[in-house]
């Protein structure tokens, strides 16, 4: 754009084109917004219903990003459609037993989308803005995926996490906090896995976080070296 030239107005069509170029950014923004909204949704029935609807929006964005990364779409839809239906039945038809199955499908979908975004980032030898945002979105996808996996573990093996007895459960936000602390390597959490399945999942979360950070950092360093050598 020439100096002094005014930027074109932000019309709905221009905004849509921008979002289509950077779907990972929209996914990342919605997930970070979810972290702020989840505490307001946990305790009331209406909040839990909104929580379910918000999850459907996030799932739709995940599918959009998977499509952008040229992954196999039918696998994503095969995971997303039953996950959405089971989640709706669990939240609105008073069938909580279906929730763990919905969480399992959602965990698989998030892991699948993470793999698709990693392939998208490694597909060429240049770094674009969308790929940089996709790196951050992939981290949040991994965190969400392991949070859902922890929820399934808690449902199948009651008392899997410290402070949660047979009649008590850790909230989804607490498990998301545990997931972020593990895959980031920070380890700042007051929740401890105490059963063998929970500890196995926790080890996978730690391994995935360390390996993902290593892949992203090594890629950025190698592309920077190649760029300097080409000059």
User: pLDDT tens, position by position, for the chain (231 residues)?
Assistant: 444 555 555 455 655 566 566 777 778 888 888 888 888 777 766 666 677 777 777 777 777 777 766 556 788 888 888 888 888 888 777 777 888 999 999 999 899 988 888 887 777 677 777 777 888 889 999 999 999 999 999 999 988 998 755 557 888 889 999 999 999 988 777 888 999 999 999 999 999 999 998 888 787 777 766 666 666
| Contact partners, residue 115, CB within 8 Å, separation at least 6 | 71
158 phi-psi bin (left φ>0, alpha ψ -120 to 50, beta other): beta
Q: What is the pLDDT of residue 24?
A: 78
Q: Is 2 inside a domain boundary? A: no
Q: CA–CA separation, 152 vs 167, rounded Å?
A: 15
70 phi-psi bin (left φ>0, alpha ψ -120 to 50, beta other): left
Q: What is the pLDDT of residue 9?
A: 57
Q: CA–CA separation, 133 vs 115, rounded Å?
A: 15
The total number of structural domains in the chain stands at 1
Q: CA–CA separation, 59 vs 56, rounded Å?
A: 5
Q: Report the Cα 171 to chain-centroid distance in Å.
A: 17
Residue with token string 């008590």: 168
Q: Is 216 inside a domain boundary? A: yes
Q: Is 1 inside a domain boundary? A: no
Q: What is the pLDDT of residue 92?
A: 76
Q: Is 148 inside a domain boundary? A: yes
Look up the domain containing 70 and give its range. 14-230
Q: Report the Cα 53 to chain-centroid distance in Å.
A: 16
Q: Is 168 inside a domain boundary? A: yes
Q: CA–CA separation, 108 vs 145, rounded Å?
A: 7
Q: Is 122 inside a domain boundary? A: yes
How many C-beta neighbours within 10 Å does residue 136 have? Answer: 16
Q: CA–CA separation, 59 vs 102, rounded Å?
A: 12
Q: Is 111 inside a domain boundary? A: yes
How many C-beta neighbours within 10 Å does residue 114 have? Answer: 24
Q: Is 9 inside a domain boundary? A: no
Q: What is the pLDDT of residue 44?
A: 67
- Do the beta carbons of residue 191 and residue 171 sit within 8 Å? no
């Amino acid at each position: 754009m020439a100096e002094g030239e005014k930027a074109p107005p932000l019309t709905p069509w221009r905004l849509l084109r921008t979002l289509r170029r950077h779907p990972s950014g929209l996914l990342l923004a919605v997930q970070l917004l979810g972290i702020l909204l989840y505490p307001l949704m946990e305790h009331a029935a209406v909040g839990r219903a909104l929580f379910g609807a918000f999850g459907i929006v996030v799932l739709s964005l995940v599918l959009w990003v998977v499509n952008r990364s040229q992954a196999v779409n039918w696998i994503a839809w095969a995971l997303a459609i039953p996950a959405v239906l089971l989640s709706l039945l669990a939240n609105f038809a008073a069938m909580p037993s279906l929730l763990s199955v919905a969480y399992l499908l959602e965990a698989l979908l998030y892991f699948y989308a993470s793999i698709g975004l990693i392939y998208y980032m490694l597909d060429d030898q240049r770094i674009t803005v969308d790929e940089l945002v996709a790196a951050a979105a992939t981290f949040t996808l991994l965190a969400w995926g392991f949070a859902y996996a922890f929820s399934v573990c808690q449902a199948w093996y009651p008392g899997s996490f410290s402070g949660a007895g047979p009649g008590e459960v850790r909230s989804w936000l607490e498990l998301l906090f545990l997931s972020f602390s593990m895959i980031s390597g920070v380890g700042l959490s007051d929740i401890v896995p105490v059963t063998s399945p929970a500890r196995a999942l926790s080890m996978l979360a730690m391994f995935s976080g360390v390996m993902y950070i290593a892949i992203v950092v090594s890629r950025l360093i190698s592309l920077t070296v190649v760029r300097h050598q080409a000059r």
